[in-house]
Amino acid sequence: MTGNTPDERKDPSATEPETADAIAAALGNAAKKSGLGALAEADQPNGKVLLEAMGGIRGIVEATVPGLLFLIVYTVNQNLPLALGISVGVAAIFTLLRLVQHTPVSSALGGLIAAGASAVLALLTNRPEDNFVLGFVTNGAYAAALLISIAVGWPIIGLIAGYLMSEGTAWKRVPLKRRIFALLTFCWAGMFLLRLAVQVPLYLAGNVEWLAATKLIMGIPLYAPLLIVTWLVVRAVYRKLPAAS
């Protein structure tokens, strides 16, 4: 019988920071690609930086126009195939333009895949409200991930902010930062849960027009203010409490 080496007897919890660092790096890289890196580096808020953080005017148009067209067309003539065809078609055009212009295509392609899958589900069931089911799943998954990250002591906003502010996971040793990042993460989870709380009853009632409208209203108009507040709070925290060594 051989004894365990010191490495073999190591507490598994010792690998927790390494795992958190890897997750933080992945989330941070994704945030930088989405434009949040420029927002983190900005000293003062300005329209250009905020627009970039939200994907720019083009990203906002790509995120809102397909849903807006679905709402308008379906409200006017109640023709589900036509409304879905126009919505998905416009999303496909946006993606194609990005491919032709050799610009980053991931967000547009993701939107096209989501729109196409939602449209197929609605057509298969012949229930217009089913066009929004995948959105419910996405919002629920985001909310669950954010709440779980708080429960395990590694709030996602802290992982992203620490990476963007070049602190890594050292903020975990500062109680005030831990509490603030947990609160911000909870606010983001609250946004996704609020969407579900408003839209699921509309889905159950079969109110497609209001369901489409609230999806637009609770999209960027909710996301943008929360993003700005998060940025202001994180900047204030790092001015008051410099990054830990």
Burial of 228 (0-12, 13-18, 19+ CB in 10 A): middle
pLDDT of residue 98: 87
- The domain boundary residue, chosen from 126, 147, 181: 126
Say if 219 falls within a structural domain.
Answer: yes
Amino acid at position 27, single letter: L
Q: 101 and 72, same structural domain?
A: yes
Which residues of the chain carry a pLDDT beneath 70?
Answer: 1-18, 20, 24-25, 28-49, 53-54, 242-245
188, 146 contact by CB (below 8 A): yes
State whether 177 and 228 are in the same domain: yes
Whether residue 114 sits in one domain with residue 149: no
Residue type at 191? Answer: M
Residues 95 and 77 grouped into a single domain: yes
Q: Are residues 89 and 145 in the same domain?
A: no
Q: How high is the pLDDT of residue 63?
A: 86
Range of the domain at 88: 54-126
Same domain, 79 and 105: yes
Q: How high is the pLDDT of residue 99?
A: 87
User: For position 61, what pLDDT does the model report?
Assistant: 87
Q: What is the DSSP letter of 245?
A: -
Question: Does residue 110 fall inside a structural domain?
Answer: yes
88 shares a domain with 145: no
Domain end (from 75, 94, 126): 126
Number of H helices, E strands in the chain: 11, 0
Establish if 39 belongs to a structural domain. no
Query: What's the total number of domains in the chain?
Result: 2
pLDDT score, position 70:
93
How many Cα atoms are found within 13 Å in the side-chain-facing hemisphere of 124? 9
pLDDT tens-digit map of 183-232 = 999 999 999 999 999 999 999 999 999 999 999 999 989 988 898 889 88
Q: Same domain for 137 and 115?
A: no
What's residue 8's pLDDT?
46
State whether 103 and 166 are in the same domain: no
Same domain (yes/no): 230, 177: yes
Q: Are residues 88 and 179 in the same domain?
A: no
Domain boundary among 126, 148, 175: 126
* 97 and 193, same domain (yes or no): no
